[in-house]
């Protein structure tokens, strides 16, 4: 009984605060639990914490770097913005000539989208007089974009081979042809000037992928030799060999093909390298049939070139 009396049925907090040891005894389990939980969370997240806190000391050099994409060089003189805003008769006339030469075959002389070249096309060439369904849009700058980039997967290809000035002139003419095309605004012209650097002119150097450049260097560094003649003689003597017949089939100009191959080593690494080589070298003397050869034929041709006529 005495024992029971000593035990408190409820905690008397006033007493607890007076005796720090008891106070500690009560809060200790809570602190303990919180510490353990923090600890467990920390361990559980160690790898994440690690990646968050350690900065990369060096750039990752093992990542695959894509080669450069070919870019066509472009040089254009600056164009007076006032002339773009208010073209003279000269510009419009020039635009007309260019339109007739480049566009009317599909878009029709009056721009109704009814030119003979567009009959079989799907989608049909645009009728400039209809307001619906334009992909880029019918404003001056949107048409310029169309001429710059083309409309992918349609008969409308890029006309970036025409100078910027020529393309502008075509649009000037289009506006006289189709009054539906809205007038160029100052803000639009300012935007175009920024995007295409019209008034400042443009100089973009050509760029080709490193892999292509290596092939070209390789090609240029080996002089042609007399053995070309010998090889051509050998070729004439084995005209019934299957390898020769394939060679005959896939070359437009045999001498050129042989001399292209002689100037390079890179294609000798295997049939794939060979295919790669002849497709990159547009003027290789080979024609497009080479890309259509079956695997067997390709290796017959490859063996013919490397072993029978021993190109080196
Ligand atoms: C080989 C035929 C062909 C020739 C040549 C051609 N185009 Fe097109 N063009 C098309 C076709 C097809 C479309 C429709 C594309 C579509 O609707 O997706 C089109 C669409 C367009 C459009 C509308 C783009 C839009 O926003 O929907 C414009 C503008 C245009 N052409 C301008 C020209 C100009 C200017 C020329 C000459 C420099 C030209 N085209 C030459 C076939 C041609």
CATH number of the domain to which 136 belongs? 1.10.760.10
Given this model, what pLDDT does residue 288 score?
Answer: 79
Q: Answer yes or no: is pLDDT of 1 > 50.
A: no
Residue 72, domain member (yes or no): no
- pLDDT average, residue stretch 139-147: 95
Q: Who wins on pLDDT, 182 or 65?
A: 182
- pLDDT average, residue stretch 145-160: 90
Residues belonging to the chain: 312
Considering the domain architecture, whether residues 169 and 218 belong to the same structural domain is answered as: no
Pocket of ligand 1 (CB under 6 A): 102-103, 105-107, 117-118, 121, 123, 125-126, 134-137, 143, 146-147, 151, 154-156, 159, 170
Calculate how far, in angstroms, residue 232's C-alpha sits from the geometric centre of ligand 1.
Answer: 48
Ligand 1 atom at shortest distance from the alpha carbon of 134:
27
Nearest residue CA, atom 12 of ligand 1? 125
- Mean per-residue pLDDT over the chain, rounded: 83
Residue 62, domain member (yes or no): no
Considering the domain architecture, whether residues 195 and 274 belong to the same structural domain is answered as: no
Residue 76, domain member (yes or no): no
Given this model, what pLDDT does residue 8 score?
Answer: 64
Residue 192 lies in domain: 82-201
- Look at residues 201, 232, 254 and tell me which one is the last residue of a structural domain: 201
Do 196 and 164 meet the contact criterion of CB atoms below 8 Å apart?
yes
Q: Answer yes or no: is pLDDT of 177 > 80.
A: yes
- Rounded Cα gap, residues 278 and 152, in angstroms: 27
Instruction: Select from 106, 143, 165, 175 the residue to mutate for testing ligand 1; criterion: most ligand atoms less than 8 Å from CB.
Output: 106
Calculate how far, in angstroms, residue 298's C-alpha sits from the geometric centre of ligand 1.
Answer: 40
Q: Answer yes or no: is pLDDT of 113 > 60.
A: yes
Ligand 1 atom at shortest distance from the alpha carbon of 98:
38
- The CA–CA distances, whole Å, from 268 to 92, 274, 287 equal 55, 6, 19
Do 146 and 156 meet the contact criterion of CB atoms below 8 Å apart?
yes
pLDDT in tens, 255-312: 888 888 887 888 888 888 888 888 777 677 888 788 888 889 999 999 888 887 776 5
Q: Who wins on pLDDT, 278 or 29?
A: 29
Residue with tokens 């295409």, as numbered in its chain: 196
Give percent of the chain with pLDDT exceeding 70. 85
Lowest-confidence region among 16-25, 71-80, 244-253: 71-80
Kindly indicate the confidence band of residue 144, based on its pLDDT and cuts at 50, 70 and 90: very high
- pLDDT average, residue stretch 8-26: 79
């Amino acid at each position: 009984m005495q024992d029971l009396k000593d035990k408190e049925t409820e905690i008397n907090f006033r007493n607890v605060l007076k005796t720090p040891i008891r106070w500690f005894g009560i809060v200790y389990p809570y602190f303990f639990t919180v510490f353990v939980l923090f600890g467990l969370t920390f361990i559980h997240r160690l790898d994440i914490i690690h990646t968050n806190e350690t900065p990369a000391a060096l750039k990752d050099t093992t990542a695959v770097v894509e080669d450069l994409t070919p870019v066509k060089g472009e040089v254009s003189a600056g164009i007076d913005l006032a002339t773009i805003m208010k073209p003279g008769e000269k510009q419009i006339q020039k635009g007309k000539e260019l339109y007739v030469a480049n566009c009317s075959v599909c878009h029709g002389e009056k721009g109704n989208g009814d030119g003979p070249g567009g009959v079989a096309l799907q989608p049909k060439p645009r009728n400039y007089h209809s307001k619906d369904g334009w992909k880029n849009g019918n404003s001056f700058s949107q048409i310029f974009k169309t001429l710059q980039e083309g409309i992918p997967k349609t008969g409308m290809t890029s006309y970036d081979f025409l100078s910027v000035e020529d393309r502008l002139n075509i649009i000037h003419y289009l506006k006289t042809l189709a009054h539906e095309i809205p007038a160029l605004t100052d803000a639009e012209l300012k935007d175009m000037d920024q995007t295409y650097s019209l008034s400042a002119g443009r100089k973009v150097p050509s760029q080709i992928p490193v892999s292509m450049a290596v092939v070209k260097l390789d090609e240029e560094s080996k002089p042609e030799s007399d053995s070309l003649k010998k090889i051509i003689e050998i070729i004439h003597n084995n005209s019934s060999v299957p390898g020769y017949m394939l060679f005959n089939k896939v070359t437009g100009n045999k001498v050129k093909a042989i001399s292209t191959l002689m100037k390079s080593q890179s294609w000798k690494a295997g049939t794939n390298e060979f295919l790669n080589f002849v497709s990159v070298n547009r003027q290789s003397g080979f024609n497009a049939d080479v890309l259509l050869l079956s695997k067997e034929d390709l290796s017959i041709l490859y063996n013919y070139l490397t072993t029978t006529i021993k190109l080196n």
